[in-house]
């Protein structure tokens, strides 16, 4: 999964091979995989010398570095549903402050049974297995939980100086990043710290709420999460901000969702075409008033925001600028 995505990045990033001897070419990646569960389900006779290396938190990021001979930082991010957005944010900051010229940032998630069990025990997953095309339904009155997905997404982030030197063309610019922690509860969302993450991203980008044309919501279709997120968003942006959840298409890809949704935001911004939340038939009255997109909307946007909120009370907000 990871290498296929990196090959796709090679083609779109404008270089034939992602190889570098430079200490300023590095990777922030979210780890994925099923190896850990083998520890619990197998006897020690099934273990091999390679198992520990396969299950280490830094293995996937290290494998990319080994494959492409990257000599700079290799840092795995593991913060549940904000893993990939953290990776993008940290890569952006490293480049912004001159520590790195270019970084691969993103995440991947391979669904494993243990994750499904955890969400089921929390009563967080949808029960509509008999009507899969009707779920998940973020912000909808009749939503009943998330649908787990799997996938990957990666971006190449690069300084302007490095990009111009090799004649590359950017698809967008990362201009703002904010991250907070609730500090109150592992699974219960907190609208105030969600709001704070958005405000930090706006401050970092030197923008006002009116500058943002569209928000890709985290919106997993859980009861409490969607309500808290909608209220936090309304307190920052008011009633009219255009918002939708692309998880209604792919489900919740956990550690990959932050990168995938960043890519969706950038593509929609560049095409001036914003996709709706599908399965949203009746907005929950408990959700704050926002411009919930229920059909494809075409409008210009110079800045878009992508938000992700994770178990552990971790919140991230990214802002992208059209180039």
Burial of 58 (0-12, 13-18, 19+ CB in 10 A): middle
Taking each helix axis from N to C end, the angle separating 2-13 and 59-68, rounded to the nearest 10 degrees, works out to: 50
Share of the chain above pLDDT 90, in %: 63
Q: Where are the alpha helices (DSSP H) in the chain?
A: 2-13, 35-41, 51-55, 59-68, 83-96, 113-121, 160-165, 191-205, 223-237, 247-250, 257-271
What does DSSP assign to residue 226?
H
pLDDT, position 196: 99
pLDDT score for 60: 80
pTM of the entire structure? 0.90
- pLDDT of 44 reads 59
In angstroms, the CA 231 to CA 191 distance is: 7
Which strand ranges, in their side-by-side order, compose the sheet holding 303-310?
A: 173-181, 314-321, 303-310, 214-216, 242-244, 291-292
For residues 294 and 297, give the distance between their C-alpha atoms in angstroms, rounded to a whole number.
9
* 81 belongs to the catalytic site: yes
Marked catalytic residue, from 81, 257, 265, 287: 81
Q: What is the pLDDT of residue 320?
A: 98
Q: Rounded to whole angstroms, how far apart are CA atoms 108 and 33?
A: 9
| pLDDT score of 12 | 65
Q: Which domains are seen in the chain, by residue range?
A: 2-135+143-165 (3.40.47.10), 173-321 (3.40.47.10)
**d(Cα 171, Cα 263) in Å, to the nearest integer?**
10
Residues of the chain with pLDDT under 70: 1-47
185 is catalytic: no
The reported pLDDT for the residue numbered 177 is 99
| Rounded Cα–Cα distance for residues 52 and 39 (Å) | 10
Of 75, 254, 89, residue with least CA distance to 179: 89
Active-site option among 32, 86, 252, 287: 252
The distance in angstroms from the start CA to the end CA of the chain is 29
Catalytic residue among 32, 86, 218, 287: 218
pLDDT in tens, 139-155: 999 999 999 999 999 99
Q: Examine the residue annotation and report whether 218 is marked as an active-site residue of this protein.
A: yes
Per the DSSP assignment, residues forming a β-bridge with 108 are: 152
């Amino acid at each position: 999964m990871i290498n296929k995505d990196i090959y796709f990045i090679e083609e779109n990033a404008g270089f034939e091979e992602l190889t570098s001897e430079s200490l300023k070419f590095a990777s922030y990646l979210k780890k994925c995989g099923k190896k850990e569960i083998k520890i619990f389900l197998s006897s020690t006779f099934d273990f091999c010398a390679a198992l520990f290396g396969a299950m280490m938190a830094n293995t996937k990021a290290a494998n990319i570095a080994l494959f492409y001979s990257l000599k700079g930082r290799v840092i795995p991010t593991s913060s549940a549903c904000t893993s990939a957005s953290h990776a993008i944010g940290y890569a952006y900051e490293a480049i912004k402050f001159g520590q790195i010229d270019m970084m691969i940032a993103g995440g991947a998630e391979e669904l494993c049974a243990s994750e499904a069990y955890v969400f089921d025990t929390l009563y967080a997953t949808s029960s509509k297995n008999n009507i899969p095309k009707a779920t998940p339904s973020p912000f909808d009155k009749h939503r009943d939980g998330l649908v787990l997905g799997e996938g990957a997404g990666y971006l190449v982030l690069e300084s302007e100086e490095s990009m111009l030197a090799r004649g590359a063309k950017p698809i967008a610019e990362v201009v703002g990043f904010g991250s907070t922690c609730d500090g109150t509860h592992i699974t219960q969302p907190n609208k105030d710290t969600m709001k704070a993450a958005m405000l930090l991203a706006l401050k970092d980008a030197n923008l006002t709420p009116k500058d943002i044309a569209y928000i890709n919501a985290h919106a997993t279709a859980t009861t409490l999460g969607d309500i808290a997120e909608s209220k936090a968003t309304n307190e920052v942006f008011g009633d009219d901000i255009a918002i939708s959840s692309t998880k209604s298409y792919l489900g919740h890809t956990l550690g990959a969702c932050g990168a995938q949704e960043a890519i969706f935001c950038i593509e929609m911004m560049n095409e001036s075409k914003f996709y709706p939340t599908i399965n949203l038939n009746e907005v929950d009255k408990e959700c704050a008033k926002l411009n919930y997109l229920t059909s494809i909307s075409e409008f210009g946007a110079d800045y878009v925001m992508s938000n992700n909120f994770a178990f552990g009370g971790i919140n991230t907000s990214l802002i992208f600028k059209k180039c």
